[in-house]
Amino acid sequence: MKNSALGRTYADKECIIRQGDVGDCMYVVQTGKVEVVREEGGVEVLLAVLDEGDFFGEMALFEQDVRSASVCSRGESRVLTVDKKTLLGRVQEDPSLAFNILRTLSNRIRKLNAELVRARGRSRT
Amino acid sequence: MRKPQRGPSLADSLTSLPQAKSSDLSLEDGSEIAVIGGGPAGSFFSYFVLGQAKRVGLDIRVDIYEPRRFDESGPSGCNHCGGIISESLVQILAAEGINIPPDVVQRGIDSYMLHTDVGSIRIDTPLVEKRIAAVFRGAGPSGLGESSWSSFDAYLLNLAVSKGAQVRRKLVSGVEFEAGRPHLRSPDGLNKGYDLVAVATGVTSNFFQLIDDLEIGYRPPRTVKTFICEFQLGSETIQAQLGTSMHVFLLDIPGLEFAAVIPKGDYATMCLLGHDIDNQMVEAFLASPEVKGCFPNPEMIPEHVCFCFPRINVQSAVQPFGDRVVLVGDCGVARLYKDGIGSAYRTSKAAAKTAVLHGIAMEDFKQHYWPACRTIAKDNRIGKFIFAFNHLFQGRRFSQRAVLRMTSWEQQKKEGPQFMSMVLWDLFTGSAPYREILRRTFHPSFWIPFAWNLVAAVFSRGGGKKIGRPL
């Protein structure tokens, strides 16, 4: 079924987006896994591992800023690009299309809050 | 310490505005909805109505009436369609969280091969990425044995079931109002009342004609006959002959608007759209050298293993809604010649949102559902104009040469705008509305090089050289 999956194939460790690049697309993992990595002061920190159905790069839809982290393939993966123009054009007609993205962002904020609480707890001790 | 109060949820905020009901007819906890037809329109409607209801805390029940089993090969499980999911719909569904699985996608399409009477040209997707899905609506053509692929319609139906819809394997033979509620009837004695009936039967069956009897002011859409057939070529031959390109034909055959050969797993699907396609037109099409060139032995095109003459919606229905009744997908409004599954998605979602957030009276559908349909219908009028214009070009060899020359020049450039390529791409893929395609053709960067290529094509008419590059 090599011809059947949608999107583009990325080899192991191949980067789909790079931290600092300007972007205007969101991405959805179709098959395989990808790693979200942020480099800070020469140190790479693994932020998340995303799986089939997960999306990334959505900040580019809402902000005109550079990519905040790199996303690279863990093993071979297949990733679909979602154009900003296509998506936002449709969101104008049907705002509820953004619901799935907002729900995921909301979950991520919840996880970040939990991480922050844990980190502050560690720094106090 | 004061107890923290729970604020409104994101769902509440998103839905607070439209929650003001404009009529007394609305869905309540325990309301029952019947969906007649389990194709894409019926499945999308069920999926979105259940999803929206859950967001606003409404407990409703949805029964989908679908006697066919889409996991059966041949006509019994087929919905008679070319089976292309457009580039924009693939992306929008992914944003909705609906990712079409690889076992449903028979082949990912990343390019188009345009064939005319004077040559062929390949048009690549701007990102060189497979974002168009070639699928089988059922489990595949007649005689197909064990298959590693799944049906697109079965996949969508299962999505609706995963949201809580119930599938009832019954043939609905009529709808009648009793005490103000629509009742469904079936030949085996079913007589069940519902709060809302969503009709999603398409235009291939005659069921939607029965809606006339409900006297809601509905007039069925105008339809024309098309032709679809399947050739069993084997996946290696398909890869070698057709690759991952959809092959589109703009040939000077009277009555033929558009034709395509779509590569799938082991099969190639051929679709002819136009003005009441008949056997004579099919034979004329198959006899053209451009079509023969798509097959391994141009002198001997294999017999098709399955064929049909389904009808498609070419002019919207009038008033596809009433109190407690709404028609979605092809039996209401569909995009002209293209992206039928995309219009099923749009109309079904608009109807589902209306039912949950606004109400189920005729006025609610008129105010909140009909605008989505009207946008498609208005765009179709522009589409008719574009196809009429295209027809003029189709019948003249010098204009075909001009289109190919300009597209070839754009495709060989590595950078810069590609006006003709994008116009053709969006026209064939159904990715952009027709108004957007028309707008692009008004741009001077389209017209100036095109005028130059028209002049050049007039003076190069003797050549008859095939333009473009091979697959």
Listed by start position, the domains of chain A span: 8-124
Mean pLDDT, rounded, for A70-80 = 96
Per cent of chain B over pLDDT 90 is: 52
Inter-CA distances, B412 with A69, B399, B416, Å: 34, 20, 11
Is B94 part of any domain? no
The reply to whether B298 and B229 lie within a common domain is yes
How many angstroms away from the CA of A39 is the closest CA of chain B? Answer: 27
| Best mutation target, A1, A2, A6, to test chain B (most B CBs within 10 A) | A6
What's A96's DSSP letter? G
CA B160 – CA B336 distance, rounded (Å):
27
| B359 and B323 in a common domain | yes
Contacts of A75 (CB under 8 A, 6+ apart): A12, A32, A33
Mean pLDDT of A66-94: 93
What local confidence, expressed as pLDDT, does residue B320 receive? 95
Q: What band does B101 get if pLDDT is binned at 50, 70 and 90?
A: very high
Range of the domain at B249: 105-142+224-312
pLDDT at B210: 73
Check B95 against A30: CB less than 8 A apart.
no
Give the pLDDT confidence score for residue B411 in this predicted structure.
85
Fold that domain A8-124 belongs to in CATH: Jelly Rolls (2.60.120)
What is the rounded CA–CA span in Å between residue B350 and residue B323? 16
Q: Which residues contact B57 (CB under 8 A, 6 or more apart)?
A: none
| B290 and B335, same domain (yes or no) | no
pLDDT at A3: 60
Question: For residues B407 and B413, what is the distance between their CA atoms, to the nearest angstrom?
Answer: 10
Highest mean predicted confidence (pLDDT) among B219-223, B303-307, B356-360, B467-471: B356-360
Residues B368 and B329 in one domain: yes
Does residue B164 lie in a domain region?
yes
**CATH code (residue B306):** 3.30.9
Mean pLDDT to the nearest integer, B318-329 = 95
pLDDT, averaged across chain B: 86
Where residue B414 falls among pLDDT bands split at 50, 70, 90? low
Question: In terms of domains, do B232 and B298 share one?
Answer: yes
Same domain, B375 and B400: no
pLDDT at A42 over 50: yes
Distance, CA of B219 to CA of B163 (rounded, Å):
32
What digits encode the pLDDT tens for the residues B274-294?
887 888 999 999 999 999 999
pLDDT over 70 at B469, yes or no: no
Residue A11 pLDDT class (50, 70, 90 cuts): very high
Contact (CB<8Å) B133/A7:
no
Is residue B196 a part of any domain in this protein? yes
Contacts of B233 in chain A (CB under 8 A): none
Q: What is the pLDDT of residue A2?
A: 56
Together in a domain, B304 and B410: no
User: pLDDT tens-digit profile of B190-233?
Assistant: 999 999 999 999 987 777 667 777 788 898 899 988 999 999 99
Is the Cβ pair B99, A28 closer than 8 Å? Answer: yes
Is the pLDDT confidence value at B9 over 50? no
What's the whole-number mean pLDDT along residues A29-41? 94
Exposure class string for B24-63: b at 16+ Cβ within 10 A, else e: ebbbeeebbbbbbbbbbbbbbbbbbbbbbbebbebebbbb
Residue B84 lies in a domain: no
The answer, yes or no, to whether residue A22 has pLDDT greater than 60, is yes
Q: What mean pLDDT do residues B75-101 have? A: 88
Please report whether residue B19 resides in a domain.
no
Residue B131 lies in a domain: yes
Q: Are strands B196-199 and B325-327 parallel, antiparallel or unpaired?
A: parallel
- Interfacial residues of B (vs A; Cβ cutoff 8 Å): 10-11, 14, 52, 55, 88, 90-92, 94-97, 99-100, 102-103, 105-108, 127-131, 133, 148-149, 235, 239, 244, 265, 346, 349-350, 353, 372, 375, 431
Residue B419 pLDDT > 90, yes or no? no
Q: Are residues B35 and B180 in the same domain?
A: yes
User: Is B420 in the same domain as B434?
Assistant: yes
Structural domains of chain B, count: 3
Confidence of residue B470 (pLDDT cuts 50, 70, 90): very low
Is residue A3 within 8 Å of residue B243, measured between CB atoms?
A: no
What's the pLDDT at B258? 85
Percent of chain B with pLDDT over 70: 91
Question: Per the domain annotation, does B306 fall within a domain?
Answer: yes
**Band of the pLDDT at B391, cuts 50, 70, 90?**
confident
B352's tokens: 């589902």
pLDDT digits (tens, 9 = 90+) for B245-254: 999 998 888 8
Buried b (16+ CB within 10 A) or exposed e, B115-124: bbbbbbbbbe
Q: Work out how many CB contacts closer than 8 A connect A with B.
A: 97
Average pLDDT over residues B422-444: 89
pLDDT value at B80 more than 50: yes
Q: What is the pLDDT of residue B400?
A: 87
A90, closest residue in chain B (CA to CA) = B92
Query: So what's the pLDDT on residue B140?
Result: 74
> pLDDT at position B20, please?
42
Question: How close, in Å, is residue B391 to chain A by CA atoms?
Answer: 28
For residue B468, name the pLDDT band (cuts at 50, 70, 90): very low
Residue A90 to residue B88, Cβ atoms within 8 A: yes
Residue B466 belongs to some domain of the structure: no
Task: Return the closest-CA partner of residue B56 out of B369, B357, B349.
Answer: B357
